[in-house]
């Protein structure tokens, strides 16, 4: 889906169009998986387009937050194994499948290593590797009724691409084991109850909700603070509290020397929106 001039959502995506669309709106880089005819299932075309769009957004000082969504009825319905994978042909042979080519050259957790916040707007089916990528985003909004599944056990696969690391951290051990072992389908409403998504909204309002959230971050949050806090959160989760506290003290002294602090306090006292500087190469 893309936003037309009148604000409506337009379904796009044919084989002769880019597999991934990229646009910048109000300080937000919008990345849209654009293969709706296959529910945006993951393949080399989407992988390459996604990585290129992420790199553009990460390198652009004007982009302060990133939104990832899908066109049509799916966010990303798992891996695309080709036409035969969508049939029930008993002769399907996947022994020669080149997983590295299918997945691309980056692990899904690279999203956690970006300096900018990534918001997933899950518009529809979110399964397998699509679910893993959504979970590696920092914030998730979902359309009401959107379908989720790990599905690995029902395809004779294992917990792929870091989902066994991120899922228990989001929903807890018991819920994660249920979803991983059963491979069952569940809806956005249950995902919200489990803490997997931050909010569930009507499908027609999903992109608006995600963009409002992202624009608020872009307009009011220090890019340097966002970059440091994001790095802290993912790194500190794996360390003990003493080491975390020691690093935080060092980072706090560094933040005191940035112009962001003066601007943050001054804009608050003057009751005006802040004008934080963009990220530098060093962050």
> How confident is the prediction along the chain (283 residues), in pLDDT tens digits per residue?
333 322 223 334 455 799 999 999 999 999 999 999 999 999 999 999 999 999 999 999 999 999 999 999 999 999 887 653 443 333 333 334 455 566 677 888 899 999 999 999 999 999 999 999 999 999 999 999 999 999 998 888 888 878 999 999 999 999 999 999 999 999 999 999 999 999 999 989 999 999 999 999 999 999 999 999 999 998 877 765 576 667 767 776 677 788 877 887 788 788 888 888 888 765 4
Contact between residue 209 and residue 217 where contact means Cβ atoms under 8 Å apart: no
Residue tagged 């957790």 (tokens): 109
Cα 194 to its chain centre, rounded Å, is: 18
pLDDT recorded at residue 85: 42
Contact between residue 39 and residue 125 where contact means Cβ atoms under 8 Å apart: yes
Contact between residue 209 and residue 201 where contact means Cβ atoms under 8 Å apart: yes
Contact between residue 143 and residue 137 where contact means Cβ atoms under 8 Å apart: no
Q: Global pTM? A: 0.81
pLDDT recorded at residue 281: 65
Report the sign of the C-alpha dihedral through residues 231, 234, 235, 241, in that order.
positive
- Among 98, 104, 10, residue whose Cα is nearest residue 50: 104
Total length of the chain: 283
H or E element in which residue 134 lies: helix 129-136
- Among 194, 162, 151, residue whose Cα is nearest residue 176: 194
What's the rounded Cα separation, in Å, for the pair 47 and 187?
25
Six-digit token string for 160? 């792929």
Six-digit token string for 97? 């499948």
pLDDT recorded at residue 61: 95
Residue 40 CB-half CA count within 13 A: 36
How many CB atoms lie under 10 A from the CB of residue 89? Answer: 10
pLDDT recorded at residue 145: 97
Give the CA diameter of the chain. Answer: 70
What's the rounded Cα separation, in Å, for the pair 151 and 127?
7
pLDDT recorded at residue 89: 35
Question: Cα–Cα–Cα angle for 23, 213, 112, nearest 5°?
Answer: 75
pLDDT recorded at residue 128: 93
Q: Tell me whether strands 74-77 and 125-127 are parallel, antiparallel or unpaired.
A: parallel
pLDDT recorded at residue 100: 58
Cα 213 to its chain centre, rounded Å, is: 14
Six-digit token string for 174? 């018991």
What's the rounded Cα separation, in Å, for the pair 230 and 232?
5
pLDDT recorded at residue 116: 97
pLDDT recorded at residue 275: 81
Contact between residue 143 and residue 124 where contact means Cβ atoms under 8 Å apart: yes
Six-digit token string for 180? 């991983």
pLDDT recorded at residue 18: 95
Strand order in the sheet with 125-127: 74-77, 125-127, 147-149, 186-187
What lies within 8 Å, CB to CB, of 15 at 6+ separation is 37
pLDDT recorded at residue 66: 98
- Among 116, 28, 127, residue whose Cα is nearest residue 70: 127
pLDDT recorded at residue 96: 44
């Amino acid at each position: 889906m893309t936003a037309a001039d009148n604000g409506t959502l337009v379904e796009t995506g044919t084989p002769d169009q880019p597999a991934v669309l990229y646009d910048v709106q109000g300080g937000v880089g919008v990345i849209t998986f654009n293969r709706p005819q296959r529910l945006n299932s993951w393949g080399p075309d989407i992988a390459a387009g996604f990585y290129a769009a992420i790199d553009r957004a990460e390198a652009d000082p004007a982009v302060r937050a990133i939104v990832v969504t899908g066109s049509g009825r799916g966010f990303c319905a798992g891996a695309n194994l080709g036409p035969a994978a969508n049939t029930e042909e008993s002769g399907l042979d996947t022994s020669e499948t080149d997983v590295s080519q299918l997945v691309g050259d980056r692990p899904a957790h690279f999203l956690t290593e970006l300096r900018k916040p990534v918001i997933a707007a899950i518009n529809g089916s979110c399964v397998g590797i699509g679910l893993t990528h959504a979970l590696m985003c920092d914030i998730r909004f979902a359309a009401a009724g959107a379908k989720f599944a790990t599905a690995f056990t029902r395809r004779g696969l294992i917990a792929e691409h870091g989902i066994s690391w991120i899922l228990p951290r989001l929903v807890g051990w018991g819920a994660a084991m249920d979803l991983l072992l059963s491979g069952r389908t569940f809806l956005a409403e249950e995902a919200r109850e489990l803490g997997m998504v931050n909010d569930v909204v009507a499908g027609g309002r999903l992109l608006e909700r995600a963009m409002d959230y992202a624009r608020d971050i872009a307009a009011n949050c220090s890019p340097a603070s966002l970059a440091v806090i994001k790095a802290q959160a993912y790194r500190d989760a794996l360390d003990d509290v003493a080491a975390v506290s020691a690093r935080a003290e060092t980072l706090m002294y560094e933040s005191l020397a940035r112009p962001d602090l003066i601007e943050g306090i001054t804009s608050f006292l003057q009751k005006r929106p802040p004008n934080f500087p963009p990220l530098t190469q060093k962050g």
